[in-house]
Amino acid sequence: MVNSELLMVNENTFIRVFEDSEHLSRYTAAAFVAAAHGAIMERGIFTVALSGGGTPQQFYELLASPAYADQINWQRVHLFWGDERAVPPDADGSNYKQFKEAVIDHVAIPAENIHRVRGELDAEFAAHDYMRQLEAFALAHECVAGNLWPPLDLVLLGLGGDGHTASIFPYTPITIGRPTQAVTADYDGRPAHRVTLTEGVINDARQIWFMIKGLKKAAIVREVVQGARDVDRLPGQRIRPKNGMLTFLLDQPAANLLQ
Ligand code: 6PG
């Protein structure tokens, strides 16, 4: 059991603050196990979209350890990504590679359950291909209700220092009716050509977790959570679940400026 302070923002948005990033990662790993159990019990499968970046690395490594990994029926887990960089799957900078090395290589997940963005393609093609994968999955699992994508059980997100989330960057024009989009953005020396889920898919998820840590994120966390609404400048504010739940999972430094 990991202790945290729980704050309610509104009826479907909560904030959990952990004393440090290790507690944050341990909680997230345990919560992932619980979310997988719940979804598999109710619907037979667990669908999750993963994020890249440095923040979830410790959580991913914990998840692959027997204490957590052995509690999950990986045969029933389907992996998607919230965003991907347009680089080959074996290149540094690939979000798929990050999760493959941390988790996939250590658990018995069938290859057909891995629905990755094909970053080796041109970003426009990769976005189109990913859209088709989502549509085919939704149809195959009969979880489509007039939509072109499945309602995912869990979307894991990070928050950039500039307020971006997934690869929805400040002032990126987003076509909400389209599930995926190619984006070009420079951030922190990372690959600029990317593919992202749009907020339509993210906000249809049953659970959305923003995992954010470190003092350098404190100001942007405050703006996204408590600042005036400005979704063009602060893409993190686009995340508002339709029927699901949004939880901000923060370490103490990232929560430092919240009131
Ligand atoms: C990516 C991400 C991105 C990330 C943020 C935060 O592919 O880069 O999915 O949205 O979550 O940039 O990154 P850090 O965790 O490294 O701060």
Summarised one tens digit per residue, pLDDT across range 138-182 is 989 876 655 789 999 999 999 999 999 999 999 988 887 899 999
Over the Cα atoms of the chain, what is R_g?
Answer: 17
Q: What is the pLDDT of residue 238?
A: 97
The answer to whether residue 197 scores a pLDDT higher than 70 is: yes
What is residue 22's three-state secondary structure? helix
CA 25 – CA 69 distance, rounded (Å): 14
119 lines ligand 1 (CB under 6 A): no
Is this model's pTM higher than 0.85 or not?
yes
Q: Report the separation in Å between the CA atom of 16 and the middle of ligand 1, taken as the mean of its atom positions.
A: 19
pLDDT of residue 143: 66
In the sheet that holds 245-251, the strands lie side by side as: 5-10, 13-18, 245-251, 207-212, 154-157, 46-50, 77-81
Instruction: Write down the pLDDT at residue 141.
Output: 87
Residue in 48, 57, 83 to alter for ligand 1 test, most ligand atoms within 8 A of Cβ = 83
Q: What is the mean pLDDT of residues 83-98?
A: 97
Task: Answer whether 217's CB lies under 8 Å from 159's CB.
Answer: yes
Ligand 1 contact via 204 beta carbon (within 6 Å)? no
CA–centroid distance for 128 within its chain: 20
For residues 147 and 209, the model is more confident at 209
Cα of 31 from ligand 1 centre, angstroms: 20
Q: Which residue, by CA, sits nearest to atom 10 of ligand 1? A: 166
> Higher confidence at residue 169 or residue 4?
169
pLDDT of residue 148: 86
Query: 54 in ligand 1 pocket by Cβ < 6 Å?
Result: yes
Residue nearest to atom 13 of ligand 1 (CA): 53
Q: Which atom of ligand 1 is nearest to the CA of 52?
A: 9
Mean pLDDT across the chain, nearest whole number? 96
Ligand 1 binding pocket includes 94 (Cβ within 6 Å): no
Q: What's the Cα-to-Cα distance from 222 to each of 8, 239, 252, rounded to whole Å?
A: 15, 15, 13
